[in-house]
C-alpha cells in the first residue's frame, strides 16, 4: 500500500512541466570569516554569555581541573556523568576524587536502560565537544559510542570541554567536516547554543525547560 | 485538525474585544519585527541573504520530485524506514500501526504543525495510545484543547491561573501558583518521568537534506532532543516540501528560519539526524520511521498559480507584520496555520469554497510578501483565490441580474485597463460625461454612481485635455528654459 502511495505522489509531482531553476545569486559572505583567533574567542564568549552560558579559558590540563572544581563547588555537584574519564587529557576521575564527587563514565554501561536511568539522575553531564562556532557562541557535538546523546541533554548542568583549535568562525566550517565523508556521517550531530530555554508562558523567559539550565564551555588553550 | 474557519468573523470580533489577547498581540507584534530586524542585521548584506534563501526555496520547488527521490534513497541507505502517506488518515494509521506493533504504553511528541494538520493526537488517543505534547506551549494548548494563538508561543496569551488550574487537574502541579517559571518547572518534572521511560517519540521535521538523507530539528526547549535520544523508536513526519538540496543550503535556511521566526540568530538546539543509532551507541533510536506526507500538496504542486505556497518554511514572520493578525490573533483562522501563511495555505488544504473569509481578510498591503524569507507572495495568492471563488460561484449557474451586471462591468474594465488604446479612449470619452454633471467647476453627485463618496466631498471638474495630451503638446512646443519658472505655462 505504501509503495502505491509513493508511486501516486511522485507520479503527480513528476507529471508537471519542469522549468529549469533560475540561477542563484552569489552566496552571501559572512563577516565572521575575517576574525582572527583572539576575536573568534571574544565573539564566542560574548555570544554565549548573552545566552547565560559561561566560557572559561584553561591555560592547560591542570588549569582545566581547577576550573572544573570551581564549577563543581559553585553548583554543589555531587554526582556527575562523563563521556570519558579522559577528556582531551583531563582526568575526570581525579577531579571527582579531589572534590568528593561521584563520577560515572559512559564506558561503565552496556545496558541502555541503566544508562538512561542514570543520565536523568546525575547533577551534571561532562562531555567533550567536537567544534565551537564563534558566529553564535555555539558548540558542535558529534554523537557516537563514547558520546551518547543524553549526557548533554538530560542532566540539569552541562559542562563541555574542547581545545581552542576547534573554534571556527561559521557553521559551514563545521558542517562541511561532519558531512564531507559520506561513510562517516554520525547518526546525530547537534549544534548547542546556551541552555535549554522557553518563554511559552506569558512570554516569561527562563532556562532549563527540558534540558540543562546551565552550560559551561571550557577551552583548553595549550594542549 | 478540525477546521473552525467558518467561525472566522465571530472569533475575530470576540478576540478584538479580548483585552488579554490584545495586550499580547501588541507586545508580540511590536517586538518581534524589531528583534527580527536586529538579527538580520548580523548579515553584512541582509538583502543578499534574503535573496539567497528565496532562490533556494524556488529551486526546491522546481526540483521537488528529484530532490525527494534523492532524499529517500539516501535516508534508506542510512537505515531509515521511509513511508509515504497520501493523506491525513493514511499517515495517522501508519503511525498508529507502528505504535501498536511496538506495544508502546504512551508516546511523547515534539512540537510539529504537520501532526496538528492531520489530527494525529486525537487519532492515537481515540485508539488507546496516549500522546503527551512536550513543548511547553503545546502542553498547555493540548490540555485546554485550544488552537494555536501564535506560531512561536501557541499559548503565550493563556493566563497563568488557567494553566495552574489545568496542571493541578492533570497531576502536573501540586500547589496552585501563578508564577510562569514554577509552572514551567512543574511541566519539566512531569515530562522528565515520561522521557525517562519512553519507548517511542514523534517529531516533525524543519528540513530534510537530499544529498545525505538527514533531517533537521530546530528548537529551544530540548524536548525534541529528548524525543530523539531516549526512545528506541522514533517517528519523524514531514510534509513533502521540506527538502533542501544539501547541507550548505540547509545551514543558510536555518539562519534565515530562526532570524525570521523568533528574532534570534540561533536556537538552543539544532540537531541533524542521519539514520538510526549505530549498533554500539548507548542511546538514540534503533529504528527511525520517516513518514513523508502529501495531504493535497502534490495537487497544489500541479497548480502553477498557487504552488509557490509550497516554498513556505513556517517561520511565522508574516504573522508579526500582518495588520490583520495584529488585531485578531491566531484563534479566528480556525486551523493550525494562522496569519498570512494560514490564509494562503488553508484554502488549498480545506477548499477555496470553505475558506472565503480567510483570503478576503486582507488589505493587500504586501507586508508579508516583502519580508518572506522563502519568497512567498500571499497577496497575489489571495487575489487568485478570490477570482476562483467568483468563477466557481458563477459556474454553478447562480447568475443573478446583479452578478451579471457586476461581471460585465468588471470584464469591460479589465479589458480597458489592460489595453493602452482602450484606456486612453475611455478616459477621453468619460470627460464630457463627467463635466456635463459639473456645476461651478465641481461635480457634486453622479446618478447611480459610487454610493457615499459624495456625502462628504466633491470632485473637481475634469480638465478637457488629459495629462498625456498636455505632455505631447509640450513636447511639440518646448517651453524656453527661462519660462519654466512661470508655472502657468504648465
For residue A61, give how far its alpha carbon lies from the nearest alpha carbon of chain B (Å). Answer: 28
CB contact under 8 A, B298 and A19: no
- Of B282, B285, B310, B373, which to mutate for an interface test with A (greatest number of A Cβ within 10 Å)? B282
pLDDT of B487 higher than 80: no
C-alpha–C-alpha distance, residues B67 and B208, integer Å:
10
C-alpha–C-alpha distance, residues B65 and B466, integer Å:
53
CB contact under 8 A, A187 and B278: yes
Share of chain B above pLDDT 90, in %: 78
Q: Pairing between strand A131-133 and A138-143?
A: antiparallel
Among A119, A193, A203, select the one facing B266 at the smallest CB separation.
Answer: A193
What ipTM goes with this model?
A: 0.97
Residue with cell 571574544: A42
Nearest chain A Cα to B148, which residue?
A200
Q: Which CATH class is domain A36-198+206-220?
A: alpha beta
C-alpha–C-alpha distance, residues B386 and B381, integer Å:
9
Mean pLDDT of B9-25: 95
Among A179, A189, A210, select the one facing B226 at the smallest CB separation.
Answer: A210
C-alpha–C-alpha distance, residues B355 and B343, integer Å:
8
Task: Give SS3 for B207.
Answer: strand
Q: Residue B482: its pLDDT value, please?
A: 62
CB contact under 8 A, A206 and B183: no
B372 by Cβ neighbours in 10 Å (0-12 / 13-18 / 19+) ranks as buried
Share of chain A above pLDDT 90, in %: 94
* Contact residues on chain B for A189, CB-CB shorter than 8 A: 271-272, 274
Q: Residue A1: its pLDDT value, please?
A: 53
Across B301-376, the runs of DSSP E, i.e. the strands, are none
Q: Residue B468: its pLDDT value, please?
A: 85
For residue A121, give how far its alpha carbon lies from the nearest alpha carbon of chain B (Å). Answer: 10
CB contact under 8 A, A30 and B45: no
* Contact residues on chain B for A200, CB-CB shorter than 8 A: 135-137, 140, 153-156, 184
Cell of A197: 530555554
Cell of A210: 527540558
For residue A62, give how far its alpha carbon lies from the nearest alpha carbon of chain B (Å). Answer: 30
Task: Give SS3 for B478.
Answer: coil
The number of C-beta contacts closer than 8 angstroms across A and B is 253
C-alpha–C-alpha distance, residues A73 and B49, integer Å:
45
Q: Residue B430: its pLDDT value, please?
A: 86
**What φ, ψ does residue B127 adopt, rounded to 5°?**
-100, 20
Please report which helix (H) or strand (E) contains residue B254, including its range: helix B247-262
CB contact under 8 A, B192 and A18: no
CB contact under 8 A, B156 and A202: yes
pLDDT digits (tens, 9 = 90+) for B420-446: 899 888 888 888 888 888 888 898 888
Radius of gyration for chain B, computed over Cα atoms and rounded to the nearest angstrom: 28
Q: Pairing between strand A86-87 and B106-109?
A: unpaired
Q: Residue B489: its pLDDT value, please?
A: 47
CATH entry 3.40.50.10420 includes domain B5-299: yes
Do the beta carbons of residue B47 and residue B41 sit within 8 Å? no
Please, which pLDDT band fits residue B394 given cuts at 50, 70 and 90?
confident
Domain limits, chain A: 36-198+206-220
Among B62, B158, B222, select the one facing A21 at the smallest CB separation.
Answer: B62
* Contact residues on chain A for B250, CB-CB shorter than 8 A: 175
CA atoms within 13 A on the CB side of A108: 16
Cell of A31: 563577516
CB contact under 8 A, B63 and A175: no
Task: Give SS3 for B58.
Answer: helix
- Of A188, A190, A193, A214, which to mutate for an interface test with B (greatest number of B Cβ within 10 Å)? A188
Across B89-232, the runs of DSSP E, i.e. the strands, are 106-109, 130-133, 200-203, 207-209, 214-219
Do the beta carbons of residue B274 and residue A187 sit within 8 Å? yes
Residue with cell 587529557: A89
Pick from B187-196, B236-245, B431-440: least confident: B431-440
pLDDT of B73 higher than 80: yes
Buried-exposed string B257-269: b where 16+ CB fall within 10 A, e elsewhere: bbbbbbbbbbbbb
Q: Residue B363: its pLDDT value, please?
A: 95
Among A14, A192, A202, select the one facing B160 at the smallest CB separation.
Answer: A202
Cell of B128: 488507546
C-alpha–C-alpha distance, residues B374 and B257, integer Å:
9
C-alpha–C-alpha distance, residues B182 and B197, integer Å:
24
Radius of gyration for chain A, computed over Cα atoms and rounded to the nearest angstrom: 21
Do the beta carbons of residue B188 and residue A208 sit within 8 Å? yes
**Residues of each domain in chain B carrying CATH 3.40.50.10420:** 5-299
- Among candidate residues B76, B100, B113, the one with its CA nearest the CA of residue B295: B113
Do the beta carbons of residue B341 and residue B261 sit within 8 Å? no
For residue B300, give how far its alpha carbon lies from the nearest alpha carbon of chain A (Å). Answer: 9
Q: Residue B483: its pLDDT value, please?
A: 62
Buried-exposed string A104-134: b where 16+ CB fall within 10 A, e elsewhere: bbbeebeebeebbebbbebbbbbbbbbbbbb
CB contact under 8 A, A12 and B251: no
C-alpha–C-alpha distance, residues B370 and A15, integer Å:
32
Among A12, A175, A196, select the one facing B222 at the smallest CB separation.
Answer: A196
Cα B422 from chain centroid (whole Å): 39
* Contact residues on chain A for B140, CB-CB shorter than 8 A: 200-201
For residue A181, give how far its alpha carbon lies from the nearest alpha carbon of chain B (Å). Answer: 10
CB contact under 8 A, A109 and B282: yes
- For the whole model, what pTM was predicted? 0.90
Give the contacts of B449 (CB within 8 A, at least 6 positions apart): none
C-alpha–C-alpha distance, residues B275 and B215, integer Å:
9
CB contact under 8 A, A187 and B83: no
Please report which helix (H) or strand (E) contains residue B453, including its range: none
Q: Residue A222: its pLDDT value, please?
A: 84
For residue A134, give how far its alpha carbon lies from the nearest alpha carbon of chain B (Å). Answer: 12
Name the β-bridge partners of A144: A147
pLDDT of B131 higher than 90: yes
pLDDT digits (tens, 9 = 90+) for A130-185: 999 999 999 999 999 999 999 999 999 999 999 999 999 999 999 999 999 988 99
pLDDT of B488 higher than 60: no
Cα B95 from chain centroid (whole Å): 26
Do the beta carbons of residue B381 and residue B308 sit within 8 Å? yes
For residue B207, give how far its alpha carbon lies from the nearest alpha carbon of chain A (Å). Answer: 14
- Of B161, B268, B305, B375, which to mutate for an interface test with A (greatest number of A Cβ within 10 Å)? B268
Q: What is the mean pLDDT of chain A?
A: 96
Q: SS3 string of chain A?
A: CHHHHHHHHHHHHHCCCCCCCCCCCCCCCCHHHHCCHHHHHHHHHHHHHHCCCEEEEECCHHHHHHHHHHHHHHCCCCEEEECCCEECCEEHHHHHHHHCCEEEEHHHCCCHHHHHHHHCCCCEEEEECCEEECCCCEEEEEEECCECHHHHCCCCEEEEEEEHHHEECCHHHHHHHHHHCHHHCCCEEEEECCCCEECCCCCCCEECCCCCCEEEEEEECCC
Q: Residue B426: its pLDDT value, please?
A: 87
- Among candidate residues A84, A195, A4, A215, the one with its CA nearest the CA of residue B221: A195
pLDDT of B171 higher than 50: yes
* Contact residues on chain B for A178, CB-CB shorter than 8 A: 247, 272
CB contact under 8 A, B136 and A179: no
Do the beta carbons of residue B29 and residue B338 sit within 8 Å? no
pLDDT of A214 higher than 70: yes
Cell of B9: 468573523
Q: Pairing between strand B287-293 and B81-85?
A: parallel
Amino acid at each position: 500500500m505504501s509503495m502505491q502511495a509513493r508511486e501516486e505522489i511522485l507520479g503527480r509531482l513528476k507529471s508537471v512541466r519542469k522549468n529549469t531553476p533560475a540561477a542563484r545569486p552569489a552566496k552571501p559572505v559572512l563577516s565572521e570569516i575575517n576574525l582572527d583567533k583572539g576575536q573568534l574567542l571574544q565573539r564566542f564568549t560574548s555570544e554565549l554569555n548573552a545566552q547565560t552560558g559561561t566560557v572559561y579559558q584553561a591555560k592547560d590540563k591542570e588549569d582545566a581541573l581547577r576550573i572544573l572544581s570551581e564549577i563543581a563547588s559553585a553548583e554543589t555537584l555531587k554526582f556527575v556523568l562523563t563521556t570519558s574519564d579522559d577528556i582531551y587529557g583531563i582526568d575526570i576521575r581525579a577531579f571527582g576524587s579531589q572534590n568528593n564527587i561521584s563520577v560515572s563514565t559512559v564506558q561503565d554501561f552496556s545496558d541502555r536502560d541503566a544508562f538512561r536511568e542514570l543520565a536523568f539522575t546525575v547533577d551534571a553531564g561532562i562531555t567533550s565537544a567536537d567544534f565551537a562556532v564563534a558566529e553564535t557562541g555555539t558548540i558542535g557535538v558529534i554523537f557516537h559510542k563514547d558520546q551518547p546523546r543524553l549526557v548533554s541533554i538530560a542532566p540539569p548542568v552541562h559542562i563541555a570541554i574542547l581545545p581552542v583549535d576547534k573554534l571556527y568562525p561559521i557553521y559551514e566550517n563545521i558542517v562541511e567536516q561532519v558531512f564531507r565523508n559520506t561513510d562517516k556521517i554520525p547518526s546525530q550531530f547537534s549544534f548547542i547554543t546556551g541552555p535549554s530555554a522557553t518563554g511559552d508562558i506569558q512570554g516569561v523567559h527562563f532556562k532549563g525547560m527540558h534540558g540543562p539550565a546551565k552550560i559551561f564551555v571550557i577551552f583548553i588553550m595549550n594542549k | 485538525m478540525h477546521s473552525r474557519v467558518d467561525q472566522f468573523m465571530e472569533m475575530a470580533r470576540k478576540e478584538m474585544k479580548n483585552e488579554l489577547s490584545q495586550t499580547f498581540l501588541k507586545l508580540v507584534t511590536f517586538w518581534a519585527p524589531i528583534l527580527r530586524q536586529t538579527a538580520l542585521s548580523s548579515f553584512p548584506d541582509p538583502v543578499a541573504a534574503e535573496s539567497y534563501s528565496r532562490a533556494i526555496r524556488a529551486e526546491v520547488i522546481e526540483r521537488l520530485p528529484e530532490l525527494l527521490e534523492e532524499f529517500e534513497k539516501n535516508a534508506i541507505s542510512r537505515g531509515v524506514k521511509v513511508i509515504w502517506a497520501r493523506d491525513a488518515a493514511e499517515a495517522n494509521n501508519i503511525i498508529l500501526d507502528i505504535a501498536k506493533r511496538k506495544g508502546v504504553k504512551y508516546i511523547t511528541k515534539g512540537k510539529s504543525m504537520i501532526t496538528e494538520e492531520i489530527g494525529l493526537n486525537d487519532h492515537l488517543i481515540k485508539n488507546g495510545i496516549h500522546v503527551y505534547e512536550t513543548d511547553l506551549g503545546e502542553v498547555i494548548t493540548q490540555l485546554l484543547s485550544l488552537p494555536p494563538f501564535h506560531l512561536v508561543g501557541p499559548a503565550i496569551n493563556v493566563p497563568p491561573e488557567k494553566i495552574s488550574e489545568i496542571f493541578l487537574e492533570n497531576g502536573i502541579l501540586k500547589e496552585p501558583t501563578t508564577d510562569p517559571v514554577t509552572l514551567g518547572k512543574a511541566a519539566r518534572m512531569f515530562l522528565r518521568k515520561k522521557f525517562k521511560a519512553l519507548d517511542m517519540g514523534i517529531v516533525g521535521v524543519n528540513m530534510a537534506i537530499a544529498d545525505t538523507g538527514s533531517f533537521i530539528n530546530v528548537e529551544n526547549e530540548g524536548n525534541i532532543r529528548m524525543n530523539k535520544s531516549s526512545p528506541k523508536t522514533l517517528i519523524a513526519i514531514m510534509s513533502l516540501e521540506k527538502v533542501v538540496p544539501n547541507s550548505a543550503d540547509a545551514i543558510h535556511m536555518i539562519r534565515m528560519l530562526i532570524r525570521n521566526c523568533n528574532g534570534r540568530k540561533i536556537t538552543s538546539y539544532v540537531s541533524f539526524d542521519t539514520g538510526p543509532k549505530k549498533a554500539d551507541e548507548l542511546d538514540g533510536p534503533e529504528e527511525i520511521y520517516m513518514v513523508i506526507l502529501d495531504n493535497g500538496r502534490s495537487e497544489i504542486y500541479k497548480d502553477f498559480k498557487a504552488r509557490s505556497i509550497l516554498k513556505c518554511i513556517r517561520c511565522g514572520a508574516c504573522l508579526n507584520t500582518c495588520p490583520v493578525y495584529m488585531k485578531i490573533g491566531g484563534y479566528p483562522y480556525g486551523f493550525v496555520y494562522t496569519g498570512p501563511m494560514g490564509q494562503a495555505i488553508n484554502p488549498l488544504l480545506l477548499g477555496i469554497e470553505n475558506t472565503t473569509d480567510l483570503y478576503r481578510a486582507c488589505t493587500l498591503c504586501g507586508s508579508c510578501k516583502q519580508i518572506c524569507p522563502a519568497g512567498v507572495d500571499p497577496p497575489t495568492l489571495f487575489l487568485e483565490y478570490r477570482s476562483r471563488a467568483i468563477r466557481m460561484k458563477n459556474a454553478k449557474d447562480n447568475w443573478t441580474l446583479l452578478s451579471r451586471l457586476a461581471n460585465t462591468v468588471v470584464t469591460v474594465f479589465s479589458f480597458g485597463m489592460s489595453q493602452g488604446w482602450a484606456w486612453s479612449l475611455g478616459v477621453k470619452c468619460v470627460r464630457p460625461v463627467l463635466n456635463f454633471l459639473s456645476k461651478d467647476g465641481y461635480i457634486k453627485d453622479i446618478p447611480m454612481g459610487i454610493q457615499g463618496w459624495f456625502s462628504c466631498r466633491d470632485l473637481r471638474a475634469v480638465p478637457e485635455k488629459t495629462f498625456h495630451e498636455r505632455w505631447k503638446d509640450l513636447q511639440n512646443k518646448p517651453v524656453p528654459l527661462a519660462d519654466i519658472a512661470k508655472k502657468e505655462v504648465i
